Amino acid sequence: MTTGRSRWCRGSHHPTTVHDDTQFISHSTATARGWCDTASLGSMVTDSSAASSAWATGTRVMNGSVNVLPDGRRLTPIGVLARQAGLRVGLVTTTTITHATPAGFVAVQPRRDDEEAIASQYLNVVDVLLGGGRQFFDASRRSDRKDLLSEYRAAGYHLCDTRAALLAAPADGQILGLFDSGHLPYLIDLERTQISERVVPTLEDMTTKALAMLRGSPRGFLLQVEGGRVDHAAHANDAAAALRELLAFDDALGVVLDHARQTADTLVVVTSDHGNSNPGLNGLGHEYADSTRAFESLARFKTSSGSILQQLGQGRDSHGRVSPAFAADVIREVCGIELPAGEAATLAPAGGGVLPSEVNRQHANASGILAQVLGNHTGIGWTGMSHTADLTAVLATGPGQDRFAGLRLNTETFTTLTDSLGLKFTNPSMSCREAARYGSNAFTDSLAHWL
């Protein structure tokens, strides 16, 4: 990355171990490889808001906060610093645009769930906003009835809410594209619709438009692209949906690489802000000969696990129960899998909302039961349904890429990026012991000392 005209394209996804967020890449054939820790201020396991805040400010905060320390001190995120320095800023995601990861790069909010407040903070700071979350901008859906859509329009933003409108939007100025009231639908649930007929744009569509609008910035730009629904699929232990979202992210990354090959000053960093549920392909059959075939079965899945559970629920009888035969029929139709009678009998109560008493606590819900039953046929196993403390891989290519190599703290990302952009700024910070004074669930003294 070079000072002044550097461009940091950053995106996000939850890969196969499954992680959460990503940054962009240049034309260089060499790629720096590293590993990043993911701890938050109060836990070895981070949530997305604390993870994004660490990247964006160089400071660890508590899970649930966006760039705010436990004592109320407000941090200044890199998106704000970049805009103040004359760079253009973009956020692209398949979640709500106000969700934790995109918010971390621009917003300052004590509670990540206050997405209405976060929506207001983007105005005239972020030039390109593409994703879901229309409910947080629409006066009829906001609790305060504030008409943010009109405010953005009055400020000069081009508003769009369909794929066709996005593709037709001008490639200059500012844009607010909100393509769903909440998160964008899983791609696996959209695949039966012809691309030309889809109302919701793909991550590739949104990334293409974002780069078209930002690439002419005289001072450069900072762009975050997140394949955020990978994380949601991992929480649901939904391997088929997660893989489709990862492939969609790969398509978007191809657009970024094409852009980077045409410029000499684009840095692309691809990483994830945390692990999630740790899926893995287990060995099946004699000498594991059945593993590949089992994994290939995911290609036959027609819908997400949430949709499968909805279909199972439609089979409830007058007593609210789902029969094993009905459960087997649904799995046969949607997944192309023939469930043995015992597995159908295990799944059927979950479809009716009844869960077994003896079950791994991490999987004590309908999605977890469904994943365990399907895992007997796909080979995919999960350690749980929540974030994990894994180190995350970091890949970087472009100017300054070598600074991302090796084992790094997540907070070092901020320093690396601001140095490359010629932005000198240091946010306040707090130790784990200090955070414990505010009633936080901080680390033990020994771990706090090590950190």
Burial string for 121-160 (b: 16+ CB within 10 Å, else e) reads bbbebbbbbbbbbbbbbbeeebeeeeebbebbeeeebbbb
CA–CA separation, 277 vs 257, rounded Å? 29
Burial of 191 (0-12, 13-18, 19+ CB in 10 A): middle
Task: Note if 65 is an active site residue.
Answer: no
Six-digit token string for 30: 């060499």
- Of the candidates 12, 48, 65, 420, the residue annotated as catalytic is 48
Write the CB contacts of 50 (distance below 8 Å, at least 6 apart in sequence).
40, 41, 60, 61, 62, 63, 64, 65
DSSP string, 93-162: EEEETTSHHHHHTT--BS-TT-HHHHHHHTTTT-SEEEEE-GGGT-TTTSTT---HHHHHHHTTEEEE-S
Asked if 128 and 175 count as a contact pair (C-beta separation under 8 A), the reply is yes
CA–CA separation, 138 vs 163, rounded Å? 19
Block residue for tokens 């949607």? 334
Question: How many CB atoms within 10 Å of residue 310?
Answer: 13
CA–CA separation, 89 vs 11, rounded Å? 13
Report the catalytic residues. Answer: 48
